[in-house]
Structure 1
Amino acid sequence: MKKTFLYTGLAILLSVGASAQKNSDAIKFSETITKDRGFSHLSVLASDEYEGRETGKKGAWMAAEYIKKQFKSFGLKGPVKDGKDKYFQNVGLITNDVAGASLAVNGKARKLNADFMIPSNSVANAPIAINVNEVIFAGYGLTKDGYDDFAGINAEGKVIMIFSAGDPTIKAGEPELTGRAAMMARQKMMTTLMKAKPKAILLVDMNFDKMPEYAKIAAASGRIMLKKDAPATAAPARPTLTTLTISPATANEILKTSNTTVEALAQKIKESGKPASITANTALMVAAQKKETTHRGENVLGFLEGSDPILKNEVLVVTSHYDHIGLVADPNATDKVNNGADDDGSGTTGVLMLAEAFAKAAKAGKGPKRSVLFMTVVGEEKGLLGSEWYAEHPIFSIENTITNLNIDMIGRGDDDRPGDNNFVYIIGSNMLSDDLDRIGKKANEDYVNIVLDEKYNNRTDPNQFYYRSDHYNFAKFGIPVIFYFNGVHKDYHQPGDEVSKIDFPMLAKRAQLVYFTAWELANGANRPVVNKNEDGTPKTN
């Protein structure tokens, strides 16, 4: 439950004014946030040895161990109580993978990945067991512009075979749909087909034999996700249409009793401009099931308790995600590692440098009044999983969490701002709290003085950056946030995101901005006032 905090006008003024004068202690302990210190961390985290730090893989586990070692060396405490390692919050990660997949045509078994494949997202939680004696070929599965592959066909409860791509209604000279437009068109077609309630769909991929083996295997592996507790009243399960992708040779085996081939049918449709749907009297058996697999993944937490006996119960959370996208799938690639130096090795490096600076201040008797949780999360690239897990299983109560400062990419520039990296995008700073917005900007003015670009600081940004990093899992619970971001570049999610391309002086400068903002928040007279709802409307008391 959200708690509303009330403040007097005087208290708000005191909070805003807290950063009106430079703090010599804050400046003194910021001196460890340097380009050289940044390089020492990032050259490890983004090395080839860490294999791109993919969630659930060895590289991410290595990164988690490295971060934990640093937190311990700084003197931060592990706050997790219900686990073997107090620095690790275990995240409930699972995949639902296809297992026991088989296909037989006229009693002859076909070979998985050589003749057919079953994507994980086309298998329901219940096992598949299909045994039919006919398959309906329905061309391209289209109903549009006077063309109807399903004319006279009742698809309900039947196995339907269609081409996986193509549109015979496109006239000569007209461009065919490609990329996202083609994908959206096929999704629309599949949605329409699902309403017809077929038993299964066989997608004939004319390029099946050219598809790399690793891509076929990956398709059968489920998307990594969080294992959720079942709600008291479960929502109706989303319908799943069993879909197999098959080779042309397999399709021709199905059509053998009809004395035709998919190549001949495609040519017939092309020449006539009319459907060529037929029913093949073929025995078809399909079986598959899903197998839940658990995966190791952990958020890494380092905790610094506040020095004030009352304010220490309030917690500032500083985050980054340490995971990236792992190894390049193509075994023939020249560079096989997506190093993720900027995304988000740079942010993780920033969190480590902040943690060290605050810890040194505490050892010198100048620690923050409020408690600070430094947390690097896993699974951001898989859908903000680690931060979602923390927000739903918080170590420190949501009501006592005053702000989240999230660092996701602070090591390079933006292709839209060539030639000058003396900036950082701030996102979300005024979404929930005008007070937080003023504190963050005043900290920049007093200590760092870099350009704060608010180009993406809105909910209607087409890139949707406000919703695309870990801060959002705090914001949706009413916790004010600032997201620090350097924008995208040509190496975004590419092997070229290397340590050699990092602007370390700017990484350190941006990290210093987060540090000074954190210092003001952790030591201010009052926590930032939340004066807006998540939709931006004013909050009423």
Structure 2
Amino acid sequence: MRRFLISLLLTSVLILPFPAVQAQRKSVKANKPVAATLASQKGAEQITAGQIRDYLTFIASDEMEGRDTPSRGLDLTAKFLAMNLARWGLTPAGDDGTFFQKIALKRDLVNKEQTRVRLNDQNLSFGKDYIALPATGDVSGPLVFAGNGWFIKSKNMDAYKGIDAKGKIAVMFTSLSGLPRGVSSSDLSNGKSGEDWMDPVQYARKQGAIATVIVPDFQFLANWERNRQRLSERPTTVVEKFQPAETSRLPRIVITPRIANLLFQGEKQNATALFEATFGGETPAPFELSLTKKMSVTVSSKSDAIATQNVVAVFEGSDPLLKDEYIALGAHYDHVGIGTPVNGDAIFNGADDDGSGTTALFAIAEALAKAPTRPRRSVLFNWHAGEEKGLWGSRYFTEYPTIPLQKIVTQINIDMIGRSKKAGDTNPRNNSLSGPNEIYVIGSKMMSTELGELTEAVNRDYLNLTYNYRYDDPKDPNRFFFRSDHYNYARKGIPIVFFFDGEHEDYHRPGDEPQKIDYEKMQKIVRTVYVMMWEIANRPTRPKVDKQLPAELSGAN
């Protein structure tokens, strides 16, 4: 893996105007006449493979330590972006006149030495028998079986129907992430949280339960040791403003099958039958466990306040009226940090995911800044943090925007555009990887017919890449529409376009490194996005939203 002396590299970044980069840049003209203005085509030609390579080699270097959210490497990347945006004359659009939109986080870690669980007269072993989640509490009481824990009115799903859970510990068979089998996001989107549906934590609190005991799904159990490390040795970090208003948090533990079998031994149904029924999509009736069984749960955790940031900038448009509208360009500049070593390499560099999108926006910003003319509308650049944690940055921006959301006419999301499937590649993990002149396009036609037609026309008349719509399907089993930052803009009614190269052998692995990027492919895609952005920015009217998102895509993530 290519490494740098960080002090030398940072010195060159902060002082030198990239003379070596400038020397490497070459223009590659389009093969066909373009419908785009001459200004946009000339601007696009400032974006080169050499420029992209140099920026991405820094952003995805080992010194950035995988750009986890939050982390030193992510903060350093943010400073690098902001420094150059200021040099190029873009306007800060974060908080307090800066390029940073600060996101307050809360970090919790279970204190294992002071956490104890006891079932009748048996002390359970942390890590071997259970994993505690970071919510401080000290409770003791009888137990009730509460199905999968959910309340969903439209599905007639009520995990506590007919039982009294007040003052008791609720035992449930449920996934720690995702919905119950047979429930889709659209089932929740049509109702109101807290009234029409409640997740297991909300509903347990409403029912008066004093703690929850979770029997997890097979996938969690199969990765028990990894989950133990993740939940008990690393802090759990959450966005403060995303947390429910309730001040009290229930102690929660996750138990192994051995403990589940002890809990349900001699009960109406045994743990195996309940496991198979609940995770098979059935809803076994809740019941109270024998009064001879009591559990005490003491969880101790420690918290601290930290922060991360989106990096937000505006390139102001030239039209006195239209400059108050924006075409938004987005990418996530975070990745997954440092993890379990693979062949001795523990740094997950994230060159493609999403160093490629981060660099694409960066190159477009530089090209705009050096262009002789400005587009009519303004261009909003947003490098989102925390995408890998659950689309944190884009959710935060769309819920607490620094510019009026109704002024955003289109959002273009670039997440993984740097890898290509090579001729003769038989690796099954690269089966869905796009080719050197190909890119997956998702969402361009889902909300706006006009936007879909425009994206195709610009591409056809410019570099004529192969647009692959394989995943542009509400029923896509991969759910790619939900898995990147454009989703949070779309659910606010903003039409979107998502560019994506497909999953590959190095997805979320240390092998996602700069030397594996197809820079010529990136050059073509970034130039195409630049010309498309310019076309949308210069149209007399914004793309018309003439479709509702399909029901499958309109619900919660």
TM-score by length of 2: 0.68
The C-alpha deviation readout for 1:489-525, integer Å capped at 9, x for no partner, is: 1111111111111101001111111111001111222
2:525 matches 1:510: yes
Q: CA deviation at 1:97?
A: 4.3
Residues 130 and 246 of structure 1, relative CA distance in 2, 3 Å threshold? farther
2:231 matches 1:218: yes
2:400 matches 1:393: yes
The C-alpha deviation readout for 1:20-41, integer Å capped at 9, x for no partner, is: 7342221222222111111111
Match of 2:360 in 1: 350
Q: Is 1:315–1:401's contact at 8 Å kept on the other side of the alignment?
A: yes
Match of 1:146 in 2: none
How far apart, in 1, do the equivalents of 2:51 and 2:67 lie?
21
How far apart, in 1, do the equivalents of 2:291 and 2:442 lie?
58
Residues 238 and 381 of structure 1, relative CA distance in 2, 3 Å threshold? farther
How far apart, in 1, do the equivalents of 2:129 and 2:382 lie?
46
Matches within 5 A, 1:108-187: 113=127, 117-120=131-134, 123=135, 127-131=136-140
Match of 1:468 in 2: 483
* 2:313 match: secondary structure: strand
Match of 2:56 in 1: 42
* 1:91 match: secondary structure: strand
How far apart, in 1, do the equivalents of 2:299 and 2:324 lie?
52
Q: Is 1:320–1:376's contact at 8 Å kept on the other side of the alignment?
A: yes
How far apart, in 2, do the equivalents of 1:307 and 1:291 lie?
51
Residues 310 and 57 of structure 1, relative CA distance in 2, 3 Å threshold? same
Match of 2:504 in 1: 489
Q: CA deviation at 1:535?
A: 3.2
Residues 458 and 331 of structure 1, relative CA distance in 2, 3 Å threshold? closer
Deviates further, 107-116 or 410-419: 107-116
Q: Is 1:50–1:63's contact at 8 Å kept on the other side of the alignment?
A: yes
Q: Is 2:432–2:502's contact at 8 Å kept on the other side of the alignment?
A: no
2:380 matches 1:373: yes
* 1:493 match: secondary structure: coil
Q: Is 1:107–1:283's contact at 8 Å kept on the other side of the alignment?
A: no
The C-alpha deviation readout for 1:140-173, integer Å capped at 9, x for no partner, is: xxxxxxxxxxxxxx999777999x99xxxxxxxx
Q: Which amino acid aligns with 2:311?
A: V
* 1:336 match: secondary structure: strand
2:350 matches 1:340: yes
Q: Which amino acid aligns with 2:389?
A: K
2:85 matches 1:71: yes
Q: CA deviation at 1:226?
A: 2.8
Match of 2:334 in 1: 323
2:554 matches 1:501: no
2:322 matches 1:307: no
Q: CA deviation at 1:355?
A: 0.6
Unaligned runs of 5+ in 2: 1-32, 145-163, 183-198, 264-270, 272-288, 422-429, 553-557
2:95 matches 1:86: no
Q: Which amino acid aligns with 2:395?
A: E
Q: CA deviation at 1:56?
A: 1.0
Q: Is 1:320–1:406's contact at 8 Å kept on the other side of the alignment?
A: yes
How far apart, in 1, do the equivalents of 2:248 and 2:458 lie?
48
Q: Which amino acid aligns with 2:105?
A: L
How far apart, in 2, do the equivalents of 1:199 and 1:307 lie?
58
Match of 1:262 in 2: none
Q: 2:307 aligns with which of 296, 314, 324?
A: 296
Q: 2:539 aligns with which of 508, 524, 541?
A: 524
Residues 104 and 428 of structure 1, relative CA distance in 2, 3 Å threshold? closer
Match of 1:58 in 2: 72
Aligned length: 448
Q: 2:410 aligns with which of 378, 396, 403?
A: 403
Unaligned runs of 5+ in 1: 1-18, 137-153, 166-179, 256-265, 267-277
Residues 197 and 298 of structure 1, relative CA distance in 2, 3 Å threshold? closer
Match of 1:421 in 2: 436
Q: CA deviation at 1:448?
A: 1.5
Q: 2:470 aligns with which of 447, 455, 477?
A: 455
How far apart, in 2, do the equivalents of 1:423 and 1:322 lie?
23
The C-alpha deviation readout for 1:55-95, integer Å capped at 9, x for no partner, is: 11112112111111221222212123x43x61001123334
Residues 230 and 116 of structure 1, relative CA distance in 2, 3 Å threshold? closer
* Aligned-CA RMSD value: 4.6
* 1:494 match: secondary structure: coil
Q: Which amino acid aligns with 1:303?
A: V
Q: Which amino acid aligns with 1:337?
A: I
Q: 1:102 aligns with which of 108, 112, 116?
A: 116
2:237 matches 1:227: no
Q: Is 2:90–2:315's contact at 8 Å kept on the other side of the alignment?
A: yes
Q: CA deviation at 1:228?
A: 2.6
Q: CA deviation at 1:42?
A: 0.7
Residues 20 and 36 of structure 1, relative CA distance in 2, 3 Å threshold? closer
Q: CA deviation at 1:404?
A: 0.5
Q: CA deviation at 1:331?
A: 6.3
Matches within 5 A, 1:16-31: 21-31=35-45
Aligned-pair identity (%)? 33
Residues 422 and 237 of structure 1, relative CA distance in 2, 3 Å threshold? farther
Q: Which amino acid aligns with 1:228?
A: K
How far apart, in 2, do the equivalents of 1:101 and 1:33 lie?
56
Q: Is 2:35–2:458's contact at 8 Å kept on the other side of the alignment?
A: no
Q: Is 1:119–1:220's contact at 8 Å kept on the other side of the alignment?
A: no
TM-score by length of 1: 0.70
* 1:42 match: secondary structure: helix
Residues 130 and 77 of structure 1, relative CA distance in 2, 3 Å threshold? same
Q: CA deviation at 1:281?
A: 8.1
